[in-house]
Structure 1
């Protein structure tokens, strides 16, 4: 039987999120920065407050708007697949446990914000546009994070409007630019997947096979692991994050 996998179940990552309560450019009480993931699904378990997640996808017909707004309240579990542009709306005290595919890859590189086209020209330009400096006072970090969010929100609203008017090209152009931006990272992403989700699934297959053969030796290798946040209150795309180490 192959080596046991002892990471977090299914090699998912988790973080605790308090969604930004800064008023938005379109008059909502608060909200996060619209973005998409290219190789990971992401899920929300709402633990406090009220709000919504706005999503934008290509419509099934290839034209028109794939915009939806899903209400969020304590107890709601919502998730979306790669390519879904998503934007959190905070109507008051919205807190979420975020569950992320591939060992938390969505917070470790698999994300592209809906910034204007010139900000997506190349990896260096994009990195400068999204960077929140860590060596300045928190008040300045807030200004940068809020300006970044508002810039991405305006582009999100433009993409939504184009889709609703029957023009799919702006969204398709953003998807193409996002895919090109992440190409240099794909080898590292594959290594993360192999060490996490692939290894977890492979271990399960081996354990099922062993049990069919009346081999239960892996049960003697049981262990327990616990951890706390590696960082608290970090500025994230959608709010302040309590971030856990790789699990």
Structure 2
């Protein structure tokens, strides 16, 4: 029986690359995301399946669970993202709600829906894609920091609650990763502001770095739980401390 994995937010960036890397490792991959054309392309490329799914929609998540069926080996909760970089005193509350819905409630809903199939596999693994923002606060990141701290707390709580079940609960917390959309989405399509995030940084992480780490995490022996893997480029010591070449 082939191993089955679900990756949310699989339409681009870390999600799409994780789907590719899991497929290369021998998994059948269900690619879930809102943009059906994007996941159709990724699924066709890797011989996987595409399931349109907005993780904030209970109906979409129920359809995803139905498409997965009764057995699942790996769930990568990657859907989410950042909106804005305003100080907390002036931030748009709608941005906070959007980040909380996608990063936290989406992760919760998908996990609830797919947990029975993960347990049924006898050795399921949940990998929640967090962020160093979920462990260290930084100025201007208040909403994203709060959402990713909630993801970290959810991950730790699930691990406690599922300790008697055959399911590992893991978190990967990336630092600066240059993808085609993360910063662009954060700044509402402002390419100049998005490019400035990486200005002078010679070697930020890329999606492949994170995807390879996720595959390593899920391929450890079933008794090994990687609670938290923090992964940053060498030139980033903290969210606010990055070496930039002039």
Query: Please, what TM-score do these two structures have when normalized by structure 2?
Result: 0.28
Q: Which structure exhibits the higher relative contact order, with contacts defined as CA atoms closer than 8 Å and separated by 6 or more residues? A: 1
Q: Greater strand share, 1 or 2?
A: 1
Query: Please, what TM-score do these two structures have when normalized by structure 1?
Result: 0.28
Q: Greater helix share, 1 or 2?
A: 2
Q: Which has the larger radius of gyration?
A: 1
